[in-house]
Amino acid sequence: MQLTQDEQAMLRGDQGTARREAIAFQIEVGRFFGARRFVPISNAHMMGDIEVMGDAGLARLERMLAEGARCEIGITTNARCIDFAHDRALGQDPAEVAKERRIIECLRGMNVITADTCINYQTLYQPHLGEHLAWGDTGTVIYANSVFGARTNFEGGPSALAAAITGRTPEYGFHLDEHRRGNLVVHLDFDPSDLADWGAIGRLVGEPNQSYYTVPVFSGIRRAPCADELKHLGASLASYGSHAMFHMVGVTPEAASVEMACGGQAPTRTMRITRADLDRLYASYDLRDRRCRLVVFSAPQLSLFELKRISELLDGRTVATGTRLFVTTSNAMRRTADELGYIGRIEAAGGTVLEGVCFYILQNLSPLREREGWDSLLTNSAKLANTITAHRFNTILRPTADCVEAAITGELR
């Protein structure tokens, strides 16, 4: 890689051990992908919680802090694995809870804003067209690339943190025009009507086209989707397909037409999705004994608009005895929704609202599933239905209102 004088100084250690180690790691990643140089970034977003880091990750954070690591650009944290108001009720391990607190201290000590949200793009930072970033999780990345036209790869926790310490990231993947061109045209033959429909589309496109370099181009859009719909589509594409970008003709900024989205080249593949395809997908989930004991609205965290809708669907009703309904959102969204009465309505119905976390990364999730005797998990999030499977849940995707009805009746349909 070509290094500027500043970058060479970092690599020599002139700017301290932490920066030397950060840039050396980035250079190794950059070399793997054949990056020719670094690009300056203006914002980073990182995952960092004890569930995924483990003791080995915490030890490395402690060492970085001791070496004087300090982030030079704005960096926020993704959802974490513990809501400190609910850890006991969820049976989370007190030793791990203490480590989670220590991670937060370490990150703050390095000038990281511990905002704990996976919807930073809706609530904290809206990048502009062409802006270079170092973001993760994947839902934040695909939203940034697709909807804002910003430029970022999937950056894991150590990688996003390194980028914030050096203020740059290697130029490969979605920083480059050549990887941003659409190469799979998807014609939508109907008007999706629920967040789950958009997530289902993400699965139908992503699963059979699994590749970081697949960039779907959606055409045939009859109604411009709102931010939450784009969020669920993107999160699902990133999850099932490992995709980092999509275009939507007439909606996203690099897609005034199919031709523009494909960079003037003929798309190599095309597919069509109909309402019947979605119906078949919904029908394919195994309902087991049809008992609904767990309903989760999460992944990504809910926006204010989603919280409002759930609160309206639950208003004056009660979740069935023996059934749990969970909602996760960001700290800030919870505060606002609380003031507006949405949280009160959800809680009055028997729902539990967790903040700063996402359901599938909760610490101790497999033991929690066993303790509660949970088998099926019902959700309107296609992403959640995919990401939680290592914990051996039987996941079922349904439209939002159907999920609420199942929570009220205790029956899957």
Partner 1 sequence: MSDVLASFRVQRAAGPLVEGEAVISTEGFSPRYDLDRWTGVISKPGHKLEGVSIRDRILFFPTAKGGIAAGWAFNDLIGKGIAPKAFVFGVTNPVMVQGAIYAGITITEGWDPDPITLIRTGDRVRIDPARGVIELLQRA
Instruction: Report the interface residues with partner 1, using CB under 8 A.
Output: 25, 28-29, 31-34, 47-48, 52-57, 59-60, 78, 136-138, 153-160, 172-173, 210-213, 238-240, 242, 244, 360, 366, 386-392, 394
Judged by CB, which is closer to partner 1: 34, or 322? 34
Task: Please tell me the total number of residues recorded for the chain in this structure.
Answer: 413
Judged by CB, which is closer to partner 1: 51, or 402? 51
Query: Least Å distance between CB 248 and partner 1?
Result: 22
Buried b (16+ CB within 10 A) or exposed e, 171-206: bbbbbeeebbbbbbbbbbeeebebbbbbbbbbbbbb
Query: Least Å distance between CB 161 and partner 1?
Result: 9
Question: What is the DSSP pairing of strand 43-46 with strand 184-188?
Answer: unpaired
Judged by CB, which is closer to partner 1: 352, or 394? 394
Query: Least Å distance between CB 309 and partner 1?
Result: 27
Rg (CA), the chain: 21
Give burial (CB, 10 Å; 0-12/13-18/19+) of 319: buried
Query: Least Å distance between CB 297 and partner 1?
Result: 20
Query: Least Å distance between CB 278 and partner 1?
Result: 22
Judged by CB, which is closer to partner 1: 204, or 349? 204
272 contact partners, CB below 8 Å, separation of at least 6:
186, 187, 189
Which pair of tokens denotes residue 15? 């700017």
Cα–chain center distance at 59: 25
Q: Using CA atoms, how far apart are residues 139 and 137, in angstroms rounded to an integer?
A: 6
SS3 366: helix
Judged by CB, which is closer to partner 1: 59, or 276? 59
> Which DSSP helix (H) or strand (E) runs through 174?
none
Judged by CB, which is closer to partner 1: 58, or 221? 58
Which pair of tokens denotes residue 192? 């999706």
Count CB atoms within 10 A of the CB of residue 338: 15
Query: Least Å distance between CB 51 and partner 1?
Result: 9
Judged by CB, which is closer to partner 1: 24, or 276? 24
Which pair of tokens denotes residue 149? 């036209």
Count CB atoms within 10 A of the CB of residue 16: 15
Query: Least Å distance between CB 157 and partner 1?
Result: 5
> Which DSSP helix (H) or strand (E) runs through 168?
strand 168-170
Judged by CB, which is closer to partner 1: 292, or 388? 388
Query: Least Å distance between CB 333 and partner 1?
Result: 21
